[in-house]
Amino acid sequence: MLERQDERILYELQRDGRMTNQRLAEDLGLSSSACWRRIKSLEEAGVLLGYSAIVDREKAGFQMSAILHVSLERHDTKFVEEFVSRVIARPEVLECYATTGDADYHLRVVVKDINAYNIFLDDFMFRLPGIRFVRTNVILKEVKHSMSLPFRK
């Protein structure tokens, strides 16, 4: 369970990951050293996994985004482990979730265009062993995209 002060740190870092320790400490009413120790503790505990930039995919040239619904033919360990390891290795796959329901996995895939998506399907997805089907939902518009957890300020 996180302490309230840790939640406030995470809230602020999600909002601005480039915020200096000094600024964060001032905003939270902590000393710089106490703030730094809390951040280090969150990193060591694996709560704070890293820092990254948020890139506008369309402005960066990735015009197509899709959700793939993947169902496996077989669920034995060999096929599942191979599927998972190969999906993890593909940079086009931004997210992969094992799910209940009609599909076993849901993937969010980003590519340059429809031709790149077709190549991704032909050269990768359709060559994976044990795939029963792959259904695609093309994302027409991103209504909300967030990586931030709902901490209270």
Q: What pLDDT does residue 89 have?
A: 98
Q: In the chain, where does the domain assigned CATH 3.30.70.920 lie?
A: 64-138
Q: Could you identify the residue written with the tokens 């390891």? A: 85
Residues 64, 117 contacting (CB under 8 angstroms)? yes
Q: What pLDDT does residue 152 have?
A: 85
Q: What pLDDT does residue 153 have?
A: 77
Q: What pLDDT does residue 112 have?
A: 98
CATH of domain 64-138: 3.30.70.920
Is the CATH number of domain 4-44 1.10.10.10?
A: yes
Q: In the chain, where does the domain assigned CATH 1.10.10.10 lie?
A: 4-44
Segments of the chain with pLDDT less than 50: none
Q: What pLDDT does residue 127 have?
A: 95
Q: What pLDDT does residue 122 have?
A: 97
